[in-house]
Amino acid sequence: MARTDSRATAARAPRSEGETAEIRTALQARRDELREEYATAVAEINSLRGDRLTDTAGDDQADAGTKTFEREQEILLANGILDRIGQVERALERLEAGAYGWCEACGDPIPVERLAAFPSATLCITCKQLEERR
Ligand SMILES: [Zn+2]
């Protein structure tokens, strides 16, 4: 591949204010959803810990082990949600800076629906499919 310079100079089609607002609304809705999921996961972790503290006397080792395992799984889940919240927040920052929502490979605007579904998407659908076929 000798010609890579054309994509660096590819003109970015400006997004309309309406589109930017639409993306912002979608990202904020996603962030709120994730925050709720996170709160639910944290409550679950706390309730599992509560169980373990109050029921230990009656539990045999296997039960205690299962609860520890469940709690670890919940913590992993909560951390995963936190990562996704971070991704959405970074996306919002980049959106405000005018640097969000363009395909990194071809420079085309990424469709609003795709950004709403995958806030961390950096490729348009066409380029993503090309990449997956590689
Ligand atoms: Zn593309």
Q: Compute, in angstroms, the gap from residue 121 CA to the centroid of ligand 1.
A: 11
Q: Is residue 66 part of a domain?
A: yes
Share of the chain above pLDDT 90, in %: 57
Q: Compute, in angstroms, the gap from residue 84 CA to the centroid of ligand 1.
A: 23
Give me the residue label for tokens 């996704």. Answer: 84
Q: Compute, in angstroms, the gap from residue 127 CA to the centroid of ligand 1.
A: 4
Interval 2-15: pLDDT, tens = 444 444 445 566 77
Q: Is residue 71 part of a domain?
A: yes
Q: Compute, in angstroms, the gap from residue 131 CA to the centroid of ligand 1.
A: 10
Q: Is residue 111 part of a domain?
A: no
Q: Compute, in angstroms, the gap from residue 100 CA to the centroid of ligand 1.
A: 13
Q: Compute, in angstroms, the gap from residue 34 CA to the centroid of ligand 1.
A: 27
Banded model confidence at residue 26, pLDDT cuts 50, 70, 90:
very high
Q: Is residue 127 part of a domain?
A: no
Q: Calculate the alpha carbon distances from 85 to 34, 89, 90, 107, 117 in Å.
A: 6, 6, 9, 25, 13
CA distance 28 to 19: 14
Interval 114-126: pLDDT, tens = 998 888 899 999 9
Q: Is residue 105 part of a domain?
A: no
Q: Compute, in angstroms, the gap from residue 4 CA to the centroid of ligand 1.
A: 14
Q: Is residue 83 part of a domain?
A: yes
Residue 122 sits at φ, ψ, to 5 deg, of -120, 0
- Summary mean pLDDT of the chain: 84
Q: Is residue 95 part of a domain?
A: yes
Give SS3 for 109.
Answer: strand
Number of domains in the chain: 1
**Where in the sequence is the domain holding 44, given as residue range(s)?**
17-99
Q: Is residue 90 part of a domain?
A: yes
Measured between alpha carbons, how far apart are the two ends of the chain, in Å? 15
Long-range pairs for 88-97: beta carbons < 8 A, 24 or more residues apart: 88/27, 88/30, 88/31, 88/34, 88/119, 89/31, 91/27, 91/115, 91/119, 91/120, 92/24, 92/27, 92/28, 92/31, 95/20, 95/23, 95/24, 95/27
Element (H, E) at 95: helix 61-96
